[in-house]
Amino acid sequence: LSSLNLQDGDNITIIGVPGRVNDRWMLVARKITANGESISLNQQQQQQNDSGLKRVSGQITDTRKAKFRGHDEQFMVVQIQTDQGDSVIANLGPVSRLESLDLQNGDAVTVLARQGSVNGETAWIAEQVRANERTAMIPHPNDTQRYRSQQR
Residue ranges and CATH numbers for the domains of the chain are 2-41 (no CATH), 54-151 (2.40.50.140)
Q: Is the pLDDT of residue 43 over 50?
A: no
Q: How far is CA 96 from the centre of its chain?
A: 16
Identity at 126, one-letter amino acid code:
A
Q: Give 47 or 12, the one with higher predicted confidence.
A: 12
Residue 21 — pLDDT band, cuts 50, 70, 90? low
Is residue 5 classed as helix, strand or coil in its secondary structure? coil
Q: What is the pLDDT of residues 123-144, one digit of tens each?
A: 899 999 999 889 998 876 554 4
Q: What is the pLDDT of residues 45-65, one digit of tens each?
A: 444 444 568 889 999 999 999
Q: Give 117 or 97, the one with higher predicted confidence.
A: 97
Residue 147 φ then ψ, to 5°: -60, -50
The contacts found for 84-91 with CB under 8 angstroms, 24 or more apart, are 87/61, 88/56, 88/58, 88/123, 88/124, 89/118, 89/121, 89/122, 89/123, 89/124, 90/56, 90/123, 90/124, 90/125, 90/126, 91/66, 91/116, 91/118, 91/123, 91/124, 91/125, 91/126
Determine contact, residues 89/78, Cβ cutoff 8 Å. yes
The pTM of this model reads: 0.61
Determine contact, residues 108/131, Cβ cutoff 8 Å. yes
Maximum mean pLDDT: which of 3-12, 75-84, 114-123 = 75-84
- The arithmetic mean of pLDDT across residues 12-40, rounded, is 76
- CA separation (Å) from 144 to 111, 137, 148, 150? 22, 15, 6, 10
